[in-house]
């Protein structure tokens, strides 16, 4: 009876579901709500016996301490004048926090105006391979993108891989971008220009000349490994590890002979003799550089921690039989012709220009199809929505009858507790 309205509502709902709210921020919001109510209650109860008050606040305090102990270092560093915002942004990254502790943040504080606002480069953290630029855009409408030029204004071959930092406060205006030189042979020059492309209704460029402070950069530590391990009959070879002040890069090879396609590690980490752990960044495929049978997995940096022993360890990998990694869909019938045999891909349907695919798990938030293959001509529309018991992927639908998609990630694990000695 109301088909059109129902369809439009379904689409609108889907758009709204794409607004993902960070679970961490949501949990913090809950804690703040409790804190606020508690504070008010304590005020009200002022006339009550002191002992009661004390026990209430003690319970409260211990409850919060268990959650926030890892913040204590961040809080300490946050007292460094002028760097509070940067510290708050990197406080969940053990390696970057150590870089800050070792005075490896270079303050820039340079502002330039464009037609509809301004951009300030607040500070940078850099090493021979990467630079993390912390900046604020005065005008929220402008889309800012950052690139690196050398002193001759020539573009440096650097790529934006992933975000190491995260917004922890709703009002956080400080943004950051991590740029890494693409060619393994390249090193960061001493004189660079940070170029900010400001995209409003027109494009403007702001260039910030920066001399990298050599005192605040450090040489990488490199370990040759060439260790091969076998997990569920699949071989993987850890070739080498490079530890930079900003990150750790683990090079892994997956031989062509493997019967399974390996999508990534669930929990690769470095650990030392004291139990210090440096973890993988949230496992987005985009976080790691990947060519066909080779991958560079990025972990937090253990650069500034003096450890006698260092191990690489993991318990599980995401992998699927190579024969199962392609998905074929009959668009007319809205049916799968081919999917992985576990049946997790359980439903497909089309509404107007969007193709919806249901994946029966609610704990997997990676993109399972390659971005470049599914980007529509209209330039977007790839989204994931999380429901109570499933995920819903929406891709732009181009009208063709048969749709072929290759999985680039999938929630199927192979497991083996593995620990490799690095030093």
Q: Which is nearer to another protein, 81 or 379 (CB)?
A: 379
Residue 8 or 334 having the CB closest to another protein: 8
Shortest Å distance, C-beta 199 to another protein: 12
The residue with tokens 């109510």 is 37
Q: Is 255 in the site for another protein (CB under 8 A)?
A: no
Question: Under rule CB under 8 A, which residues in 22-61 are in contact with another protein?
Answer: 22-23, 25-27, 29-34, 36-38, 40-41, 56, 59-60
Residues 305-364 that bind another protein (CB under 8 A): none
Is residue 398 near another protein by the rule CB under 8 A? Answer: no
Tokens of 192: 């660079």
CA distances (Å), origin 297, targets 163, 167, 241, 294, 316: 14, 23, 10, 10, 14
Residues 6+ apart with CB under 8 A from 53: 42, 45, 46
143 - beta bridge partners?
199
| Pairwise CA distance, residues 72 & 284, whole Å | 28
5 or 306: CB nearest another protein: 5
Q: List 133's β-bridge partners, or say none.
A: 124, 177
282 belongs to the binding site for another protein (CB under 8 A)? no
Strand stretches in 104-202, DSSP E: 105-114, 117-126, 130-137, 143-150, 158-160, 175-181, 191-199
Closest CB to another protein among residues 26, 155: 26
Least Cβ distance, residue 165 to another protein (angstroms): 17
The reply on whether position 389 binds another protein by CB under 8 A is no
Reduced to 3 states (helix: H, G, I; strand: E, B; else coil), residue 55 is helix
Q: Is 36 helix (H, G, I), strand (E, B) or coil?
A: helix
- Cβ nearer to another protein, comparing 30 with 402: 30
| Complex with another protein: residue 65 or 328, whichever CB lies closer | 65
CA distances, 88 to each of 101, 123, 133, 172, 301 (Å): 13, 13, 15, 9, 18
CB closer to another protein, 66 vs 291:
66
> Which C-beta is closer to another protein: that of 340 or that of 383?
383
15 binds another protein (CB under 8 A): yes
Select from 4-12, 79-87, 189-197, 210-218 the region that touches another protein (CB under 8 A): 4-12
Return the number of the residue (27 or 84) whose C-beta is nearest another protein: 27
Q: Name the DSSP letter for residue 155.
A: B
The window from 203-211, 333-341, 375-383, 404-412 that contacts another protein (CB under 8 A) reads 375-383
| Of 80-88, 256-264, 294-302, 377-385: span binding another protein (CB under 8 A) | 377-385
Find the helix or strand (DSSP H, E) in which 403 lies: strand 402-406
Residue 378 in contact with another protein, rule: CB under 8 A: yes
Name the phi and psi angles at 107, rounded to 5: -75, 130
The answer to the question of residue 381 lying near another protein (CB under 8 A) is: yes
Residue 144 and residue 203 in contact, taking contact as beta carbons nearer than 8 Å? no
Residue 23: partners with Cβ closer than 8 Å, 6 or more residues away: none
The two three-digit tokens of residue 4, written as one number: 């059109």
x/- mask, another protein, residues 112-151, rule CB under 8 A, reads ----------------------------------------
Ranges within 154-213 binding another protein (CB under 8 A): 170
Tell which one of 273, 380, 389, 391 touches another protein (CB under 8 A).
380
Distance of CA 150 to the CA centre of its chain: 27
Q: How far apart are CA 265 and CA 231, in angstroms?
A: 12
Q: Residues in the site for another protein, rule: CB under 8 A?
A: 1-2, 4-6, 8-13, 15-17, 19-23, 25-27, 29-34, 36-38, 40-41, 56, 59-60, 63, 170, 378-381, 386, 388
């Amino acid at each position: 009876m109301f088909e059109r309205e129902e369809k439009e509502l379904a689409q609108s709902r889907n758009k709204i579901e794409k607004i993902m709210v960070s679970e961490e921020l949501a949990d913090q919001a809950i804690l703040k709500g409790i804190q606020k109510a508690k504070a008010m209650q304590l005020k009200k109860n002022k006339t009550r016996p002191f002992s009661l008050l004390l026990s209430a606040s003690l319970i409260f305090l211990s409850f919060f301490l268990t959650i926030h102990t890892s913040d204590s270092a961040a809080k300490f560093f946050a007292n460094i004048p002028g760097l509070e915002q940067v510290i708050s942004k990197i406080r969940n990254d053990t390696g970057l926090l150590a870089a800050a502790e070792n005075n490896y943040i270079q303050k820039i504080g340079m502002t330039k105006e464009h037609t509809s606002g301004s951009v300030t480069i607040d500070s940078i953290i850099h090493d021979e391979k990467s630079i993390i630029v912390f900046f604020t855009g005065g005008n929220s409408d402008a889309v800012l993108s950052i690139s690196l030029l050398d002193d001759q204004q020539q573009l440096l071959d650097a790529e934006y891989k992933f975000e190491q930092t995260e917004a922890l406060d709703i009002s956080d205006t400080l943004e950051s971008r991590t740029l890494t030189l693409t060619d393994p042979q390249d090193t960061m020059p001493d004189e660079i220009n940070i170029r900010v492309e400001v995209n409003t209704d027109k494009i403007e460029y702001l260039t910030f000349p920066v001399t990298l402070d050599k005192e605040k950069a450090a040489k990488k530590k490199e370990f040759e490994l060439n260790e091969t391990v076998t997990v569920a009959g699949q071989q993987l070879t850890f070739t080498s590890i490079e530890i930079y002040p900003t990150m750790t890069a683990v090079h892994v090879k997956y031989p062509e002979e493997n019967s399974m396609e390996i999508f990534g590690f669930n929990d690769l980490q470095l650990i030392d003799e004291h139990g210090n752990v440096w973890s993988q960044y949230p496992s987005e495929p985009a976080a790691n550089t990947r060519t066909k049978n080779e991958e560079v997995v990025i972990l937090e940096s253990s650069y500034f921690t003096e450890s006698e022993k260092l191990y690489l360890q993991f318990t599980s990998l995401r992998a699927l039989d190579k024969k199962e990694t392609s998905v074929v869909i009959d668009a007319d019938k809205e049916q799968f012709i081919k999917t992985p045999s576990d049946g997790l891909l359980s439903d497909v349907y089309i509404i107007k220009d969007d193709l919806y695919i249901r994946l029966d798990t609610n704990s997997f938030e990676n993109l399972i199809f390659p971005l470049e293959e599914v980007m529509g001509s209209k330039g977007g529309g790839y989204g994931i929505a999380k429901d109570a018991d499933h995920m819903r992927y929406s891709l732009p639908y181009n009208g063709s009858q048969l749709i072929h998609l290759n999985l680039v990630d999938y929630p199927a694990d192979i497991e083996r507790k593995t620990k490799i000695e690095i030093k």
